[in-house]
Structure 1
């Protein structure tokens, strides 16, 4: 089972290294990792997606809470959060395929952010399933390059993580 953790940490150098080292030392794989500053410039938020059962999750949370720079660790249950990823696809495109690529882009509420003589770059945001669906459709045209962010998530309503 995938778990999404929101980890508030001191915004200092080396914190991300200590957090990721904790996972590698314990043999836990990180499926997704995104880091950014919060509304408080002294605090960063690390969103980590980790695969494992509840005992793995509890162990990870306990170990994270032991780190000096960690302020708070929260488990973001999927039904209580809004989560998104961002992906950029450089897709092969000639005169014959551009219209179809544009249609797919519109259907997925994505955007074409660059057009070249032989390719287009499409930006898409959404959940993992949406990113995978558009990726699968673009394969028939030829994906020259692809880059994805890690998942970011926030609790719904007035809850603060």
Structure 2
């Protein structure tokens, strides 16, 4: 079952490695991981998408919460949250289907960021379902390369 952990951490070397080791102990797969500074440059937020058993995720969250570098950790599985992901996709571009591809971009509000002789590159941000939808629509046209940023997430409301 997919789960999302959000952690505020001290912006120090080795934090990500330490957290990864805690996750590895439980043989849980990291589906995505994103890290970046918050409004305070001394603090970073890590958003980790995990696939594993509920009990293992609970233990991981407890282990992470005990680390010295952790300020706060939340398992967002049972809380409402807003999430976004960025994707860059390079698609094969053949003149006969270019209008069709452009229509897909328009429907998904994807922005063209580069064009070559044989490919077109777009960017889009959205939740996982929207990103997956764009990818599924473009697969038949030939995705040449792709990069996903990994999910970032914040709890909804005033928490």
TM-score, with structure 1 as normaliser: 0.92
Q: Flag as ranges the 4+ runs of structure 1 deviating above 4 A.
A: none
* d(CA) in 2 for partners of 1:18, 1:79: 25
Paired residues for 1:120-139 under 5 Å: 120-139=120-139
Structure 1: runs of 5 or more not aligned: none
Q: Is the 8 A contact 2:29 2:52 kept in 1?
A: no
Deviation per CA, 1:120-139: give whole Å up to 9, x if none.
Answer: 00111112121111111111
User: CA 1:57/1:26 → structure 2, altered by over 3 Å: closer, same or farther?
Assistant: closer
Deviation per CA, 1:4-62: give whole Å up to 9, x if none.
Answer: 11111100111111111111133121111110010010001100111233322220111
RMSD over aligned Cα, in angstroms? 1.4
Q: Is the 8 A contact 1:9 1:43 kept in 2?
A: yes
* d(CA) in 1 for partners of 2:135, 2:52: 26
* d(CA) in 2 for partners of 1:52, 1:45: 22
Q: Is the 8 A contact 1:9 1:15 kept in 2?
A: yes
Structure 1 range deviating more: 50-59 or 124-133: 50-59
* d(CA) in 1 for partners of 2:75, 2:26: 19
Q: Which residue of 2 aligns with 1:110?
A: 110
* d(CA) in 2 for partners of 1:64, 1:79: 19
* d(CA) in 2 for partners of 1:18, 1:26: 14
* d(CA) in 2 for partners of 1:66, 1:78: 21
Q: Which residue of 2 aligns with 1:140?
A: 140
Q: Which residue of 2 aligns with 1:19?
A: 19
Q: Is the 8 A contact 1:113 1:121 kept in 2?
A: yes
Q: Which residue of 2 aligns with 1:52?
A: 52
* d(CA) in 1 for partners of 2:63, 2:147: 30
